Amino acid sequence: MKQLVTANLADEFIKNQKVLTAIGNETRQAILLAMIQGQQEPGMRVGEIKEETHLSRPAVSHHLRILKEAQIISVRKEGTINYYRLDTKSKLSLLKNLVEQIEILLSQCE
């Protein structure tokens, strides 16, 4: 039984690898916090995120790309303007399964 739980935990870590990498960076955490506090409709533009985080435009764009690839945020284009917002179908929800698997394993160790 413990081996099955350990195997499930290993699978959960693999599923969460991109999300964990994306949210493990302090700069991306600051961007996420700014986006949580910002408007969700229509979203935030790079310049607005830049103002909130005091990062350069290229740095914001770089980190937004990583968050988008990890499927934590989404982008909506209106002409030449991009609006970034938290993805309602975010992969962040996968973290719940990871934590549950860790809790199961820990409870078996008691």
Question: Across residues 76-80, what is the average pLDDT?
Answer: 94
Judge residue 106's burial from the number of C-beta atoms within 10 Å of its C-beta, 0-12 exposed, 13-18 middle, 19 or more buried. exposed
> For residue 77, what pLDDT is reported?
94
Q: Choose between 3 and 23: higher pLDDT.
A: 23
> For residue 1, what pLDDT is reported?
61
Is the pTM of the predicted complex or chain greater than 0.75? Answer: yes
> For residue 17, what pLDDT is reported?
93
> For residue 106, what pLDDT is reported?
84
Distance separating alpha carbons of residues 9 and 105, to the nearest angstrom: 8
* Domain 2-109 CATH class label: mainly alpha
Q: Taking the domains of the chain in order of start, what are their residue ranges?
A: 2-109
Closest CA to 6 of 107, 102, 77: 102
Residue 25 has pLDDT above 80, yes or no: yes
The mean of the pLDDT values for the chain is 90
